[in-house]
Homo-oligomer: A and B are copies of this chain.
Amino acid sequence: MLYAVVMAGGSGTRFWPKSRRNRPKQLLRLHGDATMLQQTVARIAPLAPADRTFIITGADQAEATKAQLSQLPPKNVVAEPCPRDTAACVGLAALIVAKADPNGTMIVMPADHVIQPAEKFLATVQAAVEVIDEDPSAFVTFGIKPTRPETGYGYIERGEDLGSKHGIALNKVAQFREKPDRATAEKFLAEGRFAWNSGIFVWRAQAILDALAKHRPNLYAALERVGQALGTPQEAEVIAREYPQMEKVPIDKAVMEKATNVRVLEVVYDWNDVGDWRALTELVPPDAQGNTVQGSVLAVETKGSIIVSDDGGLIATLGVDDLVIVQSGGATLVARKDQLDKLKSLVEGLDKAGFGATL
* Distance (whole angstroms) from the CB of A353 to the closest CB of chain B: 5
The 6 A-B residue pairs with the shortest CB-CB distance, nearest first, are A319-B339, A318-B335, A319-B336, A313-B330, A314-B331, A315-B332
Tell me if B343 and A318 are in contact (CB < 8 A): yes
- Sample of 27 A–B contacts (CB below 8 Å): A296-B355, A298-B346, A298-B353, A300-B342, A300-B346, A300-B349, A309-B332, A312-B330, A313-B327, A313-B331, A313-B332, A314-B331, A314-B350, A315-B331, A316-B331, A316-B333, A317-B334, A318-B335, A319-B339, A320-B334, A320-B335, A320-B336, A320-B339, A323-B334, A327-B332, A332-B332, A334-B334
Tell me if B346 and A314 are in contact (CB < 8 A): no
Instruction: Chain B residues near A17: list those with CB within 8 A.
Output: 314, 316
Q: Which residue of B lies closest to A342 (CB)?
A: B318
Q: How large is the interface on A (under 10, 10 to 19, 20 to 34, 35 or more residues)?
A: 35 or more
Q: How far is the CA of A338 from the CA of B358 in the complex (A)?
A: 31
Tell me if A318 and B346 are in contact (CB < 8 A): yes
Given contacts A301-B342, A353-B298, A355-B298, contact A332 B319 (CB under 8 A): no
Choice from B314, B338, B349, B358 contacting A332 with Cβ under 8 Å: B314
Instruction: Chain B residues near A336: list those with CB within 8 A.
Output: 318-320
Please tell me if A340 contacts chain B, counting CB pairs below 8 Å: yes
Please tell me if A293 contacts chain B, counting CB pairs below 8 Å: no
Please tell me if A36 contacts chain B, counting CB pairs below 8 Å: no
Please tell me if A55 contacts chain B, counting CB pairs below 8 Å: no
Instruction: Chain B residues near A320: list those with CB within 8 A.
Output: 323, 334-336, 339
Q: How far is the CA of A321 from the CA of B240 in the complex (A)?
A: 47
From residue 275 to 313 of chain A, which have CB atoms closer than 8 A to chain B?
Answer: 296, 298, 300-301, 309, 312-313
Please tell me if A325 contacts chain B, counting CB pairs below 8 Å: yes
Instruction: Chain B residues near A316: list those with CB within 8 A.
Output: 17, 331-334, 346, 350, 355
